[in-house]
Chains A and B, each alone.
Chain A
């Protein structure tokens, strides 16, 4: 899977030469972004409720809710709060950062996709990068070469997710301990599985999964978050090795 290249004529700011009028991409890109993300928002509600409930249990509902926008990553948010309860603030900060270190990969990947995007967009979009928006942006970039349409699609998708995520965490905070009877933790892996989706049928993805999963499980005893990074590195290397093997 090679990164696509954006034709200069499409990516340039200058108006294109005379050609058949095409439908304006902007409204459809926004609508598509919202519609693509809405099912994911619904799917991530149980995960958000878990986080909101955990924040309420720790007696810091406002700070916990603010994390929905400031951290904007459920796994790191939850891991940081649980570590704070068990091991104190320094360990909690380190854990949250290590879990979110995978964002370096997502951001680097999307930076390659958006070389012609304006600086303001890259700064704003950066705040919205997380697993679902990365998946959606990668898929959309495969089929949409127009930078403006990509921009509008990503912002629509990212803001939709952010609003839904934040609202669901707020509900979790309000419900608090009343959610204790519900075992919602299982929805965390289910939501993430939905992001990988049909990619599981791809041999390249299967190679990545076959390495990343055992490494992640074998390194759970490592300092918090470091095992995740080891799995990311090993899984990426497995994917590269698979590509080379297929090419040879």
Chain B
């Protein structure tokens, strides 16, 4: 485990520090600048998709998708982070209970 943590940690720091030191004053085209800004949003979005897919397995599929869907609507409406998590978490909990109830034959 240690070698993995150290190697990933060192590599991650290089990912962070090299552009910070080398690219601060490097000029590039407006297209590249725009891509950099949009790529950051794309990174967060892609992580959302991948983590949702990871969690949405078996009986958790429906509740996970419902929770993420509710959270996306709430986030787009500008709700604070706490409310988003509360509503998303509550949706997931209700969905999980409903799926469990259905599985028992209710």
Residue positions of A touching B, CB distance < 8 A: 1-3, 39-40, 42-43, 46, 55, 58, 60, 63-64, 66-67, 69-73, 75-77, 80-81, 84, 89, 92-93, 96-97, 100-112, 114-115, 117, 119, 122-123, 125-127, 129, 131, 134-135, 138, 183, 185-201, 204-205, 208-209, 211-213, 215-217, 220, 227-228, 231-240, 243
Q: A80-B4, A108-B23 are in contact. List 4 more A-B contacts (CB 8 A).
A: A75-B47, A97-B11, A198-B75, A239-B38
| A193/B43 contact (C-beta < 8 A), A39-B81, A76-B12, A123-B17 known | no
Residues from chain A with a CB closer than 8 A to the CB of B52 are 189
Specify the chain B residue showing the minimal Cβ separation from A41. Answer: B81
- Which of A109, A110, A138, A216 makes the CB contact (< 8 A) with B45? A216
Interface centre among A92, A190, A240 (most CB of B within 10 A): A190
Q: Please, which residues of chain A bring their CB within 8 A of the CB of B76? A: 197-198, 200-201
Instruction: Specify which chain B residues have a CB less than 8 angstroms from the CB of A55 in the assembled complex.
Output: 1
Size category, B interface: 35 or more
Take A63-B2, A220-B53 as given contacts and tell me if A80 and B8 are in contact as well, using a CB distance cutoff of 8 Å: yes
Complex partner residue of A200 from B7, B35, B54, B75, CB under 8 angstroms: B75
B101 part of interface (Cβ distance < 8 Å): no
Residues of B participating in the A interface, judged by any CB pair closer than 8 Å: 1-13, 15-21, 23-25, 30-31, 33-55, 60, 63-64, 67-68, 71-72, 75-78, 80-82, 84-85, 88-89, 92, 96
Tell which of B12, B25, B47, B55 touches A228, judged by Cβ atoms closer than 8 Å. Answer: B47
Q: Which residues of A contact B13 (CB under 8 A)?
A: 126-127
- By a CB distance below 8 angstroms, the chain A residues around B75 are 193-194, 196-198, 200
A70 touches B50 (CB 8 A): no
In the bound complex, residues from chain B placing their C-beta under 8 Å from that of A110 are 20
Q: Is the interface of A mostly helix, strand, loop or mixed?
A: helix
Are B1 and A220 closer than 8 Å at their CB atoms?
A: no
Q: How far is the CA of A125 from the CA of B16 in the complex (A)?
A: 9
* C-alpha gap A220/B3 in the complex (Å): 26
Write out the residue numbers on chain A whose beta carbons fall within 8 Å of the beta carbon of B35: 236-237, 239-240
How many whole Å from B105's CB to the nearest CB in chain A? Answer: 22
Query: Which chain A residue lies CB-closest to B43?
Result: A102
In whole angstroms, what is the CA distance A84 to B9 when docked? 15
A119 with B92, Cβ < 8 A, contacts A1-B34, A109-B36, A209-B45 known: no
Check if B85 sits within 8 Å of A107, measured CB to CB. no
